């Protein structure tokens, strides 16, 4: 447990799947923290100070020491607070969990973002194809109720939070139960997990985030 001497601050933007990954990890471990909402189109001095390299949220600040990159943060949380472990203790299983989490970022999140923020039909078609390719691997990998096991959620589930964010909250159908029965069920179960449910944003909040994200991407393209 974080004692009163330990200061944990989290900088984020509500609706960001990367932020929500960290929030789930903190909640699973029962860590109290101060949350600071930032603005993607008007980044705070604090954000620029704590993440000068990428200037992106989420950033966790623990006793004045900043960490960025959501999966790095989640691993740090797991390393530092030992209760309710997020990663498996067996080194090989641990390596596999890291592999699937990285796969989420490399292949799934990018494809899902393109799918949601699609510009034209041709792009959407391509994004759908890429997403389906990636999701097929996940569908095959899912052996229990959650990626981590029958009743516990873990690193890979947490990395995949963007799926229920889109399927359940935004109600953007990434996939159907016919094509991806296991993932479809996983998404509902994960969304309904008490820890996850508590931190999920509302549909409105999520759409505000999408809008801000689209705006900041458009601004980047101009520059």
CB of 102 to other proteins, least distance (A): 6
Sequence-separated contacts (24+) of 95-99 with Cβ below 8 Å? 97/147, 97/148, 97/154, 97/155, 97/156, 98/155
How many Cα neighbours within 13 Å face the side chain of 186? 29
Residue 1 binds other proteins (CB under 8 A) = no
CA atoms of 87 and 183, how far apart (whole Å): 21
Among 27, 43, 98, 188, binds other proteins (CB under 8 A): 98
- Tokens coding 182: 């296991």
Residue 102 binds other proteins (CB under 8 A) = yes
Among 37, 39, 99, 211, binds other proteins (CB under 8 A): 99
User: Alpha carbon of 32 to those of 3, 28, 35, 62: distances in Å?
Assistant: 9, 11, 10, 11
Residue 21 binds other proteins (CB under 8 A) = no
Span interacting with other proteins, options 18-26, 91-99, 120-128, 148-156, rule CB under 8 A: 91-99
User: How many residues at the interface with other proteins, by CB under 8 A?
Assistant: 24
Residue 210 binds other proteins (CB under 8 A) = no
Q: Which residue number, 71 or 200, has a Cβ lying nearer to other proteins?
A: 71
Span interacting with other proteins, options 17-25, 33-41, 66-74, 198-206, rule CB under 8 A: 66-74
Among 8, 57, 73, 87, binds other proteins (CB under 8 A): 73
CB of 32 to other proteins, least distance (A): 19
Residue 143 binds other proteins (CB under 8 A) = no
Residue 139 binds other proteins (CB under 8 A) = no
Interacting residues toward other proteins by CB under 8 A: 52-53, 62, 65, 67-69, 72-73, 75-76, 79-80, 91-92, 94-96, 98-99, 102-103, 107, 137
């Amino acid at each position: 447990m974080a004692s009163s001497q330990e200061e944990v601050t989290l900088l984020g933007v509500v609706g960001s799947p990367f932020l929500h990954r960290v929030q789930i990890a903190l909640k699973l471990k029962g860590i109290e923290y101060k949350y600071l909402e930032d603005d993607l189109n008007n980044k705070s001095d604090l954000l620029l100070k704590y993440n000068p390299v990428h200037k992106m949220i989420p950033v966790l600040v623990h006793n004045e020491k900043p960490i960025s990159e959501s999966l790095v943060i989640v691993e740090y949380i797991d390393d530092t607070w030992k209760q309710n472990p997020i990663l498996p203790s067996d080194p090989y299983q641990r390596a596999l969990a890291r592999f699937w989490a990285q796969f989420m970022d490399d292949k799934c999140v990018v494809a899902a973002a393109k799918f949601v923020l699609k510009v034209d039909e041709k792009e959407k078609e391509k994004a759908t194809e890429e997403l389906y390719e990636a999701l097929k691997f996940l569908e095959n990998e899912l052996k229990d109720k959650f990626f981590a096991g029958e009743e516990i959620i873990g690193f890979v589930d947490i990395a995949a939070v963007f799926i229920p964010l889109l399927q359940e909250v935004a109600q953007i159908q990434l996939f159907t139960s016919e094509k991806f029965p296991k993932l479809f069920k996983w998404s509902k179960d994960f969304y309904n997990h008490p820890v996850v449910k508590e931190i999920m944003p509302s549909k409105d909040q999520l759409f505000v985030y999408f809008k801000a994200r689209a705006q900041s991407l458009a601004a980047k393209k101009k520059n």
